[in-house]
Amino acid sequence: MKKLLILFLVLTLCVPLFAGCVEFTNEIYPTLGENGKWGYASYWGKWIIDPIYDDAYNFDKEDLAAVCVAGEWNWINRDGEFIFDEMFDYTYAFDENGLALVYDDELFGYAKRDGTIAVEIKYDDLGAFDGNGITYALDGNLYGYLNREGEWVIKPQFHGAGDFFADYAPVSVFGECGFIDKSGEFVIEKQFEDAYSFDESGLACVCLEGLYGYIDFEGNFVIEPTYQYAFPFGDGELASVCVDGLFGFIDKTGEIVIEPKYEMAYSFFGEAYAAVCDDDLWGYIDETGNYVIEPCYDYAEPFSSADYYYDVPYAYVELGDEWGYIDRQGEYLSKGDLLQ
């Protein structure tokens, strides 16, 4: 009886310990096999989908994953079955409306999760749909705007076009840029040599008479055009600008926050670090101008937030003939690292 009581107490105490230490999951992860191919394995390392792919990405929330075979891309379900009969040169992530940009034979279109094509693959350039389901498309030599069904909502008539933000989109006609609304009417007249979309800052970066500045929704300059080049603020507090051939950073009042001293620099775009180039090498600084990743790359791009492809913020870098993705500690990332 005494032994039974001790055994009961041991089991009772151990259950919560094991329950807290072991997480049972049915998730499967891209895993590199000994044959050099990618497949999908369980948390415990058991192969669920054999390693037969040249590349493979995470399964998304709807249980589809992009995979590459012999240089061509498709999506598979958790049974390893292809969603589309045909393969594509490249596939992008599905958005919240179940559409994914696809690229094939140098043309773009949109695919649906059910294995059908939403927007015919025939456009030379194609943007991402905004919250209202509109994106720019290049048909021949002219840009217009499509809806998610592939129908023109603004017929092709522009020589350049950008994304809508707050119902404004930059377009160009014979080299002059202005901003249109969703009826296709100009709300800020053509007068600029270059123009970015408006963003979360409420400002748009534009070029007038060879110099860049920032305008508001009325088309008035909030930061006068005094820079040789400039990047948008995005959803960040600082923007990269070029003064006398060197890049530094300004705030939304136009005040210099980080002195111009870099050969090239991207804006922070809402991320913690900005990519900068000094003495032909790229690294990353914080908003105080201090290096958080020392310059050591031949090229580096801004950090992107965690997304369909990667579960942590990441940045593309190049070093010699090599390229890859790093995290905010400057460590190279593999799919295994990203899926822990």
Amino acid at 196: Y
Lowest mean pLDDT among 140-154, 206-220, 310-324: 310-324
315 is a domain residue: no
Region 72-101: what's the mean pLDDT? 95
Determine the Cα–Cα distance for residues 146 and 132; give it in Å rounded to an integer: 11
Q: Give 26's Cβ-side CA count (13 Å radius).
A: 2
Q: What is the pLDDT, as a whole number, of residue 308?
A: 54
Contact 235, 201 (CB under 8 A): yes
Q: Is residue 314 part of a domain?
A: no
For 266-286, what is the mean pLDDT? 95
Q: Bigger pLDDT: 18 or 260?
A: 260
Residue 7 lies in a domain: no
What integer is the mean pLDDT of 270-275?
93
Neighbours of 60 (CB within 10 A): 16
Between 162 and 308, the higher pLDDT residue: 162
In the DSSP assignment, the letter for residue 168 is B
pLDDT at 9: 36
Residue 148 backbone dihedrals phi, psi, to 5 degrees: -70, -15
What digits encode the pLDDT tens for the residues 13-72? 343 333 333 343 458 889 999 999 999 999 888 999 999 999 998 888 899 999 999 999
> Which pLDDT belongs to residue 309?
57
- In angstroms, the CA 33 to CA 39 distance is 7
Is there a domain that residue 112 lies in? yes
Distances, alpha carbon 110 to alpha carbons 119, 134, 160, 163, in Å: 5, 13, 21, 17
- Residue 93: pLDDT above 50? yes
Average pLDDT, the chain: 89
CATH of the domain at 81: 2.20.25
Residue 9 inside a domain? The answer is no
- The answer to whether residues 248 and 258 touch, using CB atoms and an 8 Å cutoff, is yes
Model confidence at 333, pLDDT cuts 50, 70, 90, reads: confident
Residue type, 62: E
Cβ within 8 Å of residue 156, ≥6 positions away: 137, 138, 139, 140, 142, 143, 144
313-323 mean pLDDT: 90
Task: Assign 286 to helix, strand or coil.
Answer: coil
Domain ranges, residue 36: 27-123
In the three-class reduction of DSSP (H, G, I as helix; E, B as strand; rest coil), residue 195 is classed as: strand
Residue 65: its pLDDT value, please?
Answer: 93
Provide the pLDDT confidence category of residue 335 given band limits of 50, 70 and 90: low
The answer to whether residue 47 sits within a structural domain is yes
First to last CA, the chain: 45
pLDDT at 113: 95
**What does the pLDDT average to over 201-227?**
98
Whole-structure pTM value: 0.84
> Which of residues 333 and 273 earns the better pLDDT score?
273
Nearest CA to 188 among 212, 208, 210?
208
User: E strands of 289-340, at which residues?
Assistant: 291-297, 299-300, 315-319, 322-326
Tokens read off for 181: 């609304």
- As a 3-state breakdown, the chain gives helix, strand, coil percent values, each rounded to 5, of 5, 50, 45
Q: Report the C-alpha gap between 133 and 96 in whole angstroms.
A: 11
For residue 132, tell me if it sits in a domain: no
Dmax over Cα atoms in the chain, in whole Å? 94
51 CB-near residues (< 8 Å, 6+ apart): 31, 32, 33, 34, 35, 37, 38, 39
Instruction: Identify whether the C-beta of residue 131 lies closer than 8 Å to the C-beta of residue 141.
Output: no
220 CB-near residues (< 8 Å, 6+ apart):
none
Residue 338 has pLDDT above 60, yes or no: no
The reply to whether 46 falls in a domain is yes
Count of CB atoms situated within 10 Å of the CB of 101: 22
- Out of 17-26, 119-128, 157-166, 213-222, which region has the weakest mean confidence (pLDDT)? 17-26
**In terms of pLDDT, which residue wins out, 29 or 107?**
107
Our count of domains for the chain comes to 1
Under a CB-based contact definition with an 8 Å cutoff, are residues 268 and 251 in contact?
Answer: no
